Amino acid sequence: MGLQFIPHDTKIDFIGKKFIAFAISIFLTIGSIGVFVLSGINYGIDFTGGYVLEVRTPEKADLSQMRKALSDLQIGEVSLQEFGSPQDVLIRIPSFEGDAQARDTSLERVKSALGASVEIRRTETIGPKVGKELVENAIYAVVLSLLAILIYIWIRFEWQFAVCGVIALVHDCIVLLGLYSLCHSLEFNTNAVVSFLLTASYSIHDTVVVYDRIRENMRKFKSMTFADIINLSMNETFSRTVLTTTTTLLALLALCLFGGKVIAEFSCPLLVGFSVGAFSSVCLSAPLLLYTRLKTGEKEMQK
């Protein structure tokens, strides 16, 4: 007999506590918007502009040593990644203040810090126009993904499910945006856009599991009230949601603690996003269905 961490027959009154969940969601949403308006976001090089250097080292590149050498120059956040072979490295550094001569001097300092043995193969400038286009494309990517999810759930279920599911996703994205506004040590770059899309996909996956069970129970228990059907469905999927979310969060927590700075900057937002997504898929997206006057057959589902 296997271990059973959470009973399959839980009888938690989710609907009875829905206003507590709604209050938490409203607080997180308003707080996140407030922090964003007051503090803004620490945009990364991809959005603000800067320089891209493609370099080649004689042997396999030691990224940690190169990152330390460039950080000692105090030129801002520096991004390094392998580019093709282990000897090729792509370096992104922020824009330098001052005139053209001052910028050239700063670039020479960067090249000196890398060492004479490192070959500078290419140097490019990312202008503010490119950064503005990336911001617009990032917004389009998130909005289009939410629209695609809306259409998918609408086709698979009904429009009421789609609307409630997307409300929960928007809530998750706003809270994640608030995290980036609150923690300016986290750069908002292309990895941040990926974290938004991953959070949305993880959250909607949990939501669809709950919606599937609600639809199944609507057909099975036609004499039950809609509130009881939602409660039953959420309890039947609760153990699955908790176990899958916990294992995912434990893996992300390990990456945050032991993965190094670069990996932590990517995994920590996911840790928060997945936690909020699990909360909204259980405590927000399903209870919101009570206010949509959903119909099954010819019978309107009442509270």
Whether residues 38 and 170 share a domain: the answer is: yes
Q: Which of 25, 26, 18 is nearest to 291 (CA)?
A: 18
Residue 72 sits in a domain whose CATH number is 3.30.70.3400
Instruction: Provide the CA 110 distance to its chain's centre, in angstroms.
Output: 32
Q: Are 130 and 258 in contact (CB under 8 A)?
A: no
Q: Are residues 97 and 38 in the same domain?
A: no
Q: Where is mean pLDDT largest: 2-11, 87-96, 236-245?
A: 236-245
pLDDT tens readout for residues 223-244: 788 888 888 888 888 888 888 8
Round the average pLDDT of the chain to a whole number and report it: 79
Same domain (yes/no): 117, 175: no
Same domain (yes/no): 150, 290: yes
pTM of the model: 0.75
Domain end marker among 63, 92, 126: 126
> pLDDT, tens digit, for every residue of 193-234?
888 888 888 888 888 888 888 888 888 887 788 888 888 888
The answer on 171 and 24 residing in a single domain is yes
Most confident of 2-6, 8-12, 50-54, 286-290: 286-290
- Specify the pLDDT at position 196: 87
Helix (H, G, I), strand (E, B) or coil at 11: coil
The verdict on residue 5 lying in a domain is no
- In angstroms, the Cα distances linking 134 to 31, 49, 57, 185, 211 are 26, 10, 30, 21, 35
Of 75, 105, 126, the domain-final residue: 126
What is the structure's pLDDT at 1? 44
**Token pair for residue 260?**
């190094």
* Class of residue 33 by CB neighbours under 10 A (exposed 0-12, middle 13-18, buried 19+): middle
Does 148 reside within a domain?
yes
- Alpha carbon distance 73, 18 (integer Å): 52
Two tokens, residue 254: 């390990």
DSSP one-letter code for 43: B
Q: Which domain holds residue 57?
A: 50-126
Based on the fold, state whether residues 168 and 182 are members of the same structural domain: yes
**Digit-coded pLDDT (tens) for 37-84:** 988 888 777 777 777 778 788 788 777 787 777 777 776 677 777 766
Q: Is the model's pLDDT at 85 over the cut of 80?
A: no
113/136 same-domain check: no
**CATH code for the domain in which residue 135 is found:** 1.20.1640.10
249 lies in the same domain as 275: yes
Q: Percentage of the chain with pLDDT > 70?
A: 85
Residue 298 confidence class, pLDDT cut points 50, 70, 90 = very low
- 132, pLDDT greater than 90: no
- Cα first-last separation, the chain: 40
Tokens of 243: 């176990």
Same domain, 159 and 245: yes
* CA distances to 177, 189, 219, 238 from 248, in Å: 21, 23, 32, 15
Q: Are residues 206 and 248 in the same domain?
A: yes
148 and 115 in a common domain: no
| Residue 205 or residue 128, greater confidence | 205
Whole-angstrom distance, CA of residue 277 vs CA of residue 274: 5
Using the 3D structure, point to which of 126, 155, 177 is the last residue of a domain. Answer: 126
User: Is residue 294 situated within a structural domain?
Assistant: yes
Q: Are 86 and 37 in contact (CB under 8 A)?
A: no
Residue 4 lies in a domain: no
DSSP 73: T
How many helices (H) and strands (E) the chain has is answered by: 9, 6
- 10 is a domain residue: no
* Domains in the chain, number: 2
Q: What tens digit of pLDDT does each residue of 251-287 get?
A: 889 988 887 777 888 888 999 999 998 888 888 888 8
Both structure tokens of 142: 């998130």
Same domain for 290 and 143: yes
Give the pLDDT score at 100: 59
> Over 90: is that where the pLDDT of 27 sits?
yes
